[in-house]
């Protein structure tokens, strides 16, 4: 089995026949994963004429793992992902009760996959709730290890909650807990290092893909030291590590204060003309409004975990829904990456041959691009857009299309393969 490795210069070394671990997933995973693999295999073969192919290696997690091994996330699965660097997964059931809070979170934390990358774009033919969906073209870099994903909280009425309340009131002098005896508590850690590595990845992505801006989305007007810190540390990182490649909003404001607004505007235009990435920020609630009003003003988004959850789902809705929203969890330093369907297991439709496989399929496109197999990704993307423009899609999308022709999961996959 051939492994993808990361070289000392940071570039991935991808063999012609790489082994890719995959988790089929629970619920609808049993339908979307085979559909994704069949399309990817066909597109790879068509792109490289048999010179390259993927060797799929199944590993277990979720309900299937629990039934087979008694563990929701076997150690072997984690070891395989560590060994082979890149993998892909279907949706997983989160066990009810104690133990692992979320299998997805456990995977991300174990491999320190600090970026949740969610690209959002519109496909011609897909009906959306906005008038100009073609203006939505963004890449969301959502921090994946801190903020609410740290999972630090204590339930109301427990000894731990009472102990924490005592610490807050007696040691820290906190007096603003409105109903202290019935409150649950949570802690929101946001670090300089966590912020810097996320913003660094976002800026490097923008530079590599010649994208115009990185926007820091935050709630620093209320949470001064966590969300506000994220904004300040992000700007500082850009000015320190990318001084010749970025133009930050604090620099704009400094020029404006010293030389006037016209001089600042000229400096901004000069920076854009020179191909510099503009680093700006916006309050999270204003950003959600602006994405509806002026989505064309945003390109790469860097944000903390909770904000990123809201942002990525709203943007997905603006281009047709989570059924065509791909996602990846990446550590750009180690090279570890797991690509995934962004929706859940959908047990209500599992086994009915109606689920949309496009979230996982587009996540596989992200995986192929991450590997440098861009020709394959372009082939799959073009085939999907062709299918949608003809009204051919699974029911969730086809029912809104003017000439929609609903296809089953299997039939849609076969049609996409026929037009590669």
- Residues marked as catalytic: 149, 219, 285, 309
Q: Which among 221, 208, 359, 328 is positioned nearest to 275, based on CA atoms? A: 208
346: alpha, beta or left? (left if phi > 0; alpha if psi -120 to 50):
left
Contact residues for 348 (Cβ-Cβ < 8 A; gap 6+): none
**Distance from first CA to last CA of the chain, Å, rounded?**
28
The DSSP secondary structure of 191-254, one letter per residue, reads: -HHHHHHHHHHHHHHHHHTT-SEEEEEE-TTTSTTTHHHHHHHHHHHHHHH-TTTEEEHHHHHH
Contacts of 406 (CB under 8 A, 6+ apart): 393, 394, 395, 398, 399
At what angle are helices 374-389 and 358-371 packed, to 10 degrees? 150
CA angle 30, 325, 111 (to 5 degrees): 75
Question: Alpha-carbon distance 103 to 95, whole Å?
Answer: 8
Q: What are phi and psi of 117, to 5 degrees?
A: -100, 125
Tokens of 355: 């689920």
Q: Rounded to an integer, what distance in angstroms lies between the CA atom of residue 282 and that of residue 218? A: 7
Distance CA 116, CA 131 (A): 28
Please enumerate in sequence order all residues whose Cβ is within 8 A of that of 143, keeping only pairs 6 or more positions apart, or say none: 114, 115, 116, 149, 194, 195, 198, 303, 304, 305, 308
DSSP state of 139: E
β-strand partners of 218: 283
């Amino acid at each position: 089995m051939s492994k993808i490795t990361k070289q000392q210069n940071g570039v991935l070394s991808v063999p012609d026949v790489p082994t890719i671990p995959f988790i089929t997933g629970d619920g609808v995973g049993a339908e979307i994963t085979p559909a994704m693999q069949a399309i990817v295999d066909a597109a790879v073969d068509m792109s490289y004429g048999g010179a390259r192919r993927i060797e799929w290696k199944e590993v277990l997690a979720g309900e299937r793992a629990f039934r087979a091994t008694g563990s929701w996330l076997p150690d072997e699965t984690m070891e395989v992902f560590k060994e082979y660097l890149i993998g892909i997964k279907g949706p997983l059931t989160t066990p009810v009760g104690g133990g692992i809070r979320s299998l997805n979170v456990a995977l991300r934390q174990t491999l320190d996959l600090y970026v949740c990358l969610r690209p959002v774009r519109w496909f011609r033919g897909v009906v959306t709730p906005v008038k100009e969906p073609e203006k939505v073209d963004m890449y969301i870099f959502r921090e994946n290890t801190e903020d609410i994903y740290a999972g630090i909280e204590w339930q109301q009425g427990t000894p731990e909650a009472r102990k924490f309340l005592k610490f807050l009131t007696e040691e820290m002098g906190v007096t603003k807990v409105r109903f202290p005896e019935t409150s649950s508590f949570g802690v929101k850690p946001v670090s300089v290092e966590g912020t810097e590595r996320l913003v660094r990845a976002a800026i490097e992505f923008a530079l590599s893909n010649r994208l115009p801006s990185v926007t820091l989305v935050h709630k620093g007007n209320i949470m001064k030291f966590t969300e506000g810190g994220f904004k300040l540390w992000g700007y500082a990182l850009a000015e320190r590590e990318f001084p010749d490649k970025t133009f930050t909003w604090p620099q704009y404001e400094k020029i404006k204060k010293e030389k006037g607004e016209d001089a600042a505007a000229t400096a901004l235009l000069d920076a854009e003309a020179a191909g510099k990435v503009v680093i700006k920020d916006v309050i999270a609630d204003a950003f959600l409004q602006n994405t509806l009003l002026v989505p064309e003003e945003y390109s790469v988004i860097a944000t903390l975990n909770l904000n990123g959850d809201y942002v990525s789902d709203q943007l997905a809705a603006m281009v047709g829904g989570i059924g065509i929203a791909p996602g990846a969890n990446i550590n750009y330093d180690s090279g570890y990456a797991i690509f995934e369907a962004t929706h859940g297991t959908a047990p209500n439709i599992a086994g009915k041959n109606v689920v949309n496989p496009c979230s996982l399929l587009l996540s596989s496109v992200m995986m192929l691009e991450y590997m440098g197999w861009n020709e394959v990704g372009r082939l799959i993307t073009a085939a999907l857009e062709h299918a949608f423009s003809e009204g051919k899609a699974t029911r969730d999308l086809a029912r809104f299309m003017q000439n929609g022709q609903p296809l089953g999961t299997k039939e849609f996959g076969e049609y996409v393969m026929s037009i590669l």
